[in-house]
Copies of this chain bind each other. A is one copy, B any other.
Amino acid sequence: MTQPFDLPAYLETRRRVVDQALRDFLPKASEWPERLHEAMNYSLNAGGKRLRPILAIAAAEALGKDYHAVLAAACALEMIHTYSLIHDDLPAMDDDDLRRGQPTNHKVFGEAIAILAGDSLLTEAFFTIAEAAKPEQAAAALEVIRRIAQASGSRGMAGGQAVDLLSEKKKISVAELERLHRHKTGKLIQVSIEAGALLAGADKRQFESLSRFGECIGLSFQIADDVLDIEGGEEIGKDIGSDVANEKATYPALLGLEESKRLAHQLTEEALGVLGDFDAKADPLREIARYVVYRKN
């Protein structure tokens, strides 16, 4: 008899590996210029779930590799996620004072240092992947950099954030909302899976299945986030209903709460379906697909 897979234990052990690796990769707060490095470390160590790095690790594990080959890229993804949070929180953007219950970067370090800390985390992400790549990994590392940059820039996450800001207080269609979220949140989640797959040596068919898996859970994650903003969560660290207050377009606002939940459920089923050819080593990915939708924070 096989043991049931213990997701909380899995997430906890992988999170610790990622936390340690992030401390190893990032310049210490004692290194010149100290104030900037302090600001970078402040937000990176603010206690995230490390979902994107864990997805990269779980994708590699689904292919029978352990996390060592993907750890630098996994940490790079968290640096990019963290940079995006620092910049999104700025007064000129979403103007948030709290993030995960703590003062946001610019509230502690001022706007100028917060902007530069975000810039530097983004830059450090690409340094980290290039620095860690072994010679025989060069081609794969370069392809990972290409995909992560594409998923993060104007054709990805930053583009989605721009459209999100420009769409505030405007009525947009479900198709526009989906495009916005595929860019703002979805592509970085998808590329997390892709990075793990590429660095673990996936063949073309494995890569395409995992990429599609990442696309499905990228969107289901965002829908679940919108639902949590309405229904509330235990530790989400921002005010319940803040999207409504900011007049942001959300799935529940456009589709209703029940239809949003149904859509998230359907995407989860599709994600599980594309993993049909994978064995039990893909169980962490399967459980994470359920977790991103049925989580309470």
Contacts and interface: CB of A to CB of B under 8 A. Distances in A.
Nearest to A161: B116
A206 B69 CA distance: 33
A90 interface: yes
A50 interface: no
Nearest to A140: B138
Interface stretch (A52-60, A118-126, A211-219, A278-286): A118-126
B158 A120 contact: yes
Dominant secondary structure of chain A at its interface with chain B: helix
B135 A139 contact: yes
Interface stretch (A5-13, A33-41, A247-255): A33-41
B116 A158 contact: yes
Interface stretch (A14-22, A141-149, A231-239, A257-265): A141-149
Interface string A149-160: 110111100110
Could you say how many copies of this chain the assembly holds?
A: 2
Contacts of A161: 116
A111 B165 CA distance: 11
A113 B138 CA distance: 34
A115 B130 contact: no
A165 B126 CA distance: 25
Given A33-B162, A141-B142, A154-B33, A124 B112 contact: no
Interface of A: 27, 31-33, 35-37, 40, 83, 87, 90, 92-93, 110-113, 115-120, 122-124, 126-127, 130-131, 133, 135, 138-139, 141-143, 145-146, 149-150, 152-155, 158-159, 161-163, 165-166, 179
